[in-house]
Amino acid sequence: MSYEEVIFYFVAGLTVISALGVVTARNVVHSALFLILSLISVAGIFILLAAEFLAIVQVLVYGGAVTILILFAMMLTRVRDIQGSLNGKQAPLAALVSAGFAAVSIFALTTTDFPGESDKINVITTEQIGDALFTTWAVPFEIASLVLMVALIGAIVIARGEEGE
Amino acid sequence: MIPINNFLVLSSILFAIGMYGVLARRNAVLILMGVELMLQAVSINFITFAAYLDPTNATGVIFAIFVIVIAAAEAGLALAIILRLFRNRQTANVDEADTMKW
């Protein structure tokens, strides 16, 4: 086993274990902290795939902004004071469905032969990403920024509530 | 050298775990965390295929960037809606917000 594979199995194991922590933790704040660990391990996977720009974006956007937002929402909605189980009655059925999904998709992709598969990871440079983003994908890029702005204005309007409340 | 299947299996497992979180949890914030895990799995898939199958252009990575942008927008909006739900109903549990079910 090469050292690359050792690192892969370590990071992948960390990702899966912390993801399991997110969905099984009994304390909601532990769940959020597991989510941060899981997202940062996914950034490690991105580095193994030679996409270091995305790894940095991942740590900034997910590790920073999104998890802080989630922790804020938890405090404002007093999730910690919930009495009783965090899982619904359907939890065993949900476990069955997702285990079935995992089994089917893993079976499908291990029996699939991907045409044109290279035997090494190809480095996609940040220069290449920037070039594609501002030429081929310029219009979707502008639309994405518009979507972000509309979503955030909408979020402010929804969260602020009516006057005099 | 890491085989392509390793990344794809990891992504499937992560997606299934996120799916379990979405289906099993009662609280809207915890469901949102499940959705985030599923989006991560999708990003890993995009970048894996970009790195192994299509080295000449960066389309897979661009799509992963768009996934991150949309996820950020979605998280902001969803948390605003959850906050509003909590203010009106004093609960953030999705099984208690069932006015449309008579």
Query: Locate tokens 């597991």: which residue?
Result: A34
Q: How far is A34 from chain B (nearest CA, A)?
A: 10
B74-95 pLDDT per residue, tens: 988 998 888 888 888 887 788 7
Rounded to whole angstroms, the Cα distance separating B10 from B18 reads 12
What pLDDT band is residue B102 in, cutting at 50, 70 and 90? low
B42-55 pLDDT per residue, tens: 999 999 988 888 77
Residues of chain B with Cβ-Cβ distance to A22 below 8 Å are 17, 21, 33-34, 37
Q: Do B21 and B68 touch, CB atoms closer than 8 A?
A: no
Amino acid letter for position B55: P
| Residue B47, CA atoms < 13 Å, CB-side half-sphere | 34
Q: How far is B98 from chain A (nearest CA, A)?
A: 14
- With CA atoms as reference, the chain B residue closest to A134 would be B62
- Spans in chain A with pLDDT lower than 70: 80, 82-84, 162-165
Residues of chain A with Cβ-Cβ distance to B13 below 8 Å are 16, 102, 106
Name the pTM for this structure.
Answer: 0.90
3-state secondary structure A103-148: HHHHHHHHHCCCCCCCCCCCCCCHHHHHHHHHCCCHHHHHHHHHHH
Q: What is the pLDDT of residue B12?
A: 95
A109-136 pLDDT per residue, tens: 889 888 777 777 778 888 888 888 899 8
Please report which helix (H) or strand (E) contains residue A41, including its range.
Answer: helix A28-48
Interface of B with A in 29-88 (CB under 8 A): 29-30, 32-34, 36-37, 40, 43-44, 47-48, 50-55, 57-62, 64-66, 68-77, 79-84, 86-87
ipTM metric: 0.90
CB contact under 8 A, B75 and A69: yes
CB atoms within 10 A of CB B80: 21
